Structure formats: C-alpha cells, structure tokens
Amino acid sequence: MIKAAEEGAGAAIPAFTMGDRLRKAREKTGMTTRDFALELGVSQSTITNAENERSKTRRITLLMWSQVTGVPVEWLETGECQENA
C-alpha cells in the first residue's frame, strides 16, 4: 500500500503530466527520441516538445505513440484507463 502523506502535512504523490506519460511510454520501448521520431515519422523536436509539453500534441501523433508503445491512448492523454473486462 502506498502512503501518500507520510512526511508532513499536505505531502502527496505527484501526478504525472501528459509529457511524463509520453516519456515513460517511449522509454519503455528502449528507443531514443531520435529513433522514436523515425518510427513515428515525425521530427525529433515533435517528440521532445511533446514530452516537455512545449506544444499541444496532435491526436494523430498520440494514436501513433500508442500504437508503437502498446500503451493505451486514453492513459497517455489522461493518466487513467479502463481495464478490459
């Protein structure tokens, strides 16, 4: 069991941002940002901008990200995902 507030009042487990989730999904593949960009058919700056949240990531890019990583697009976007029943 995770204890979110063990150290002091108001301590909490930090939420992952969309950029964090995108980076974690890419890192799971073992690919660099350059290799991942080549796999998706986008520029390396598209990947780094998405992971650093410098620009809004297009839906088509998220769908390709999901397909290449095997991570549900819903989780990439929101951090939540319904499990298959």
Query: What tens digit of pLDDT does each residue of 34-46 get?
Result: 999 999 999 999 9
Domain ranges of the chain: 18-78
CA distances from 23 to 9, 33, 77 (A): 30, 9, 12
Distance from C-alpha of 21 to C-alpha of 46, rounded to nearest angstrom? 15
CATH number assigned to the domain with residue range 18-78, chosen from the 4 options 1.10.260.40, 3.40.50.720, 3.10.20.30, 3.40.718.10: 1.10.260.40
Q: How far apart are CA 69 and CA 12, in angstroms?
A: 29
Q: Which of these, 65, 13, 60, lies nearest to 37 by C-alpha position? A: 65
**Contact present, 19 and 51 (Cβ < 8 Å):** yes
**pTM exceeds 0.85 for this model:** no
For 50-74, how does the pLDDT look when each residue is reduced to its tens digit (9 = 90+)? 999 999 999 999 999 999 999 999 9
